[in-house]
Amino acid sequence: MKYILASASPRRQQLLALVLDGSFEIQVSDADEKTALSDPAELVQELAKRKARAVAKGQEDAVIFGADTVVALEGQTLGKPKDRQQAKAMLERLSGKTHTVYTGIALLHTKSGHMLCEADSTQVTFAPMRPEEIEAYLDTGEYADKAGAYGIQGGAAKHIEKIDGCYFNVMGLPVHRTYELLKKLMGESDGAL
């Protein structure tokens, strides 16, 4: 049996290596990410499932890991910014406020057809950011391809006052929860880690 991460994210690759000791393949999902779902926990779970299913095609005995992350603030979901201007607007909104980061994790065992899916959430509080601090962060380019236009593990860290929940969830994959889900899936699939 093999393990496959349905993501090109270097952060997810790094975090899944903590769960699997580095023994997995990477296949980027081409799943349709358009959805009318507005609840962030439901949204990330649905997209994680789609990504896992898209990569599972043609795999006889594999566990596929699908994941999706969004930032939710004041009833609105913030995904990845399209450009610097959209990233700036997101950071201005996050400045001085607490938001919630949701990550959905879907694990699909292709041989048995079993799939488990959960969502994790973490509260993140940003300190107020001055306009020049936002511009300096944007100059790093770190905002690209990140939900909410920031990465907690990079230059944005100095603007984060506190978190409540799993740090790794904010990076894109809650490590402990993923490990527990994998143990549960393999138990249901009569497999062993």
Name the active-site residue from 21, 30, 68, 120. 68
In eight-state DSSP terms, residue 107 is E
d(CA 98, CA 148): 12
Query: Secondary structure of the chain: what % helix, strand, coil (to 5)?
Result: 40, 25, 35
Chain-centre distance of CA 152, in angstroms?
12
58: Cβ contacts below 8 Å, ≥ 6 apart: none
Burial category of 146 from C-beta neighbours within 10 Å (exposed 0-12, middle 13-18, buried 19 and up): buried
d(CA 124, CA 130): 18
Residue 39 catalytic? no
Burial category of 38 from C-beta neighbours within 10 Å (exposed 0-12, middle 13-18, buried 19 and up): exposed
User: Which residues are designated catalytic?
Assistant: 68
